[in-house]
A and B are shown apart, each in its own frame.
Chain A
Amino acid sequence: MQNVHSDLIAVIAGIGLVLAVASVVGFILQRRLSPDGGNATIENLNDRIRAWWVMAIVMSLALLGGRTGVIILFAICSFAALREFMTLTNASRADHRTLAAVFFIVLPAQYYLIWISWYGLYSIFIPVWVFLLLPIVSALSGETRNFLVRIAEIQWALMICVFCVSHVPALMNLRIPGFEGRMVLMIAWLVIVVQLSDVLQYVWGKLAGRHKIAPKLSPSKTVEGFVGGCLSATLIGMALSFMTPFNPWQAGLMGLVVTILGFLGGLVMSAIKRDRGVKDWGHTIAGHGGFIDRLDSVVFAAPIYFHLTRYFWNVG
Chain B
Amino acid sequence: MTGLASWAITTFARLLTAVQPEWAGIDPTARRRRIYFANHVSHGDFVLIWSVLPPRARRRTRPVAGADYWRKGGLREFIGTDVFNSLLIERNREGAEDDPIAQMAAALDAGDSLIIFPEGTRNLTDAELLEFRSGIYRLALARPEVDLVPVWIENLNRVLPKGAVIPVPLMCKVIFGAPLRTSYGEGKDAFLSRARDALLALNPKQEG
Contacts and interface: CB of A to CB of B under 8 A. Distances in A.
Interface of A: 79-80, 82-84, 86-87, 91, 93, 96, 99-100, 103-104, 282-284
B203 interface: no
Contacts of B170: 83, 86-87
Contacts of A83: 18, 169-171
A103 B168 contact: yes
Contacts of A104: 166
Nearest to B157: A93
Given A83-B169, A84-B171, A284 B18 contact: yes
Contacts of A93: 158, 161-162
A79 B171 contact: no
A281 B162 CA distance: 27
A111 B25 CA distance: 44
Given A93-B161, A96-B161, A282 B168 contact: no
Contact of A79 (B155, B158, B164, B169): B169
A119 to B, nearest CB: 28
A282 B171 contact: yes
A100 B164 CA distance: 10
Given A80-B18, A96-B164, A100-B168, 15 more contacts: A79-B169, A83-B18, A83-B170, A83-B171, A86-B168, A86-B170, A87-B155, A87-B170, A91-B158, A93-B161, A99-B168, A104-B166, A282-B18, A282-B171, A283-B20
Given A87-B155, A93-B158, A93-B162, A283 B168 contact: no
Chain B interface mostly helix, strand, loop or mixed? Answer: loop
16 contacts: A79-B169, A83-B18, A86-B169, A86-B170, A87-B155, A87-B171, A93-B158, A96-B161, A96-B168, A100-B166, A100-B168, A282-B18, A282-B171, A283-B18, A283-B20, A284-B18
Question: Chain A binding site: helix, strand, loop or mixed by DSSP?
Answer: helix
A283 B162 CA distance: 27
A80 B158 CA distance: 17
Nearest to B164: A96
A286 to B, nearest CB: 12
Interface in B148-178: 155, 158, 161-162, 164, 166, 168-171
Contacts of A100: 166, 168
Q: Which residue of B158, B161, B162, B164 has the most chain A CB atoms within 10 A of its CB atom?
A: B158
Contacts of A282: 18, 171
Interface in B84-136: none
Contacts of B166: 100, 104
A103 B169 contact: yes
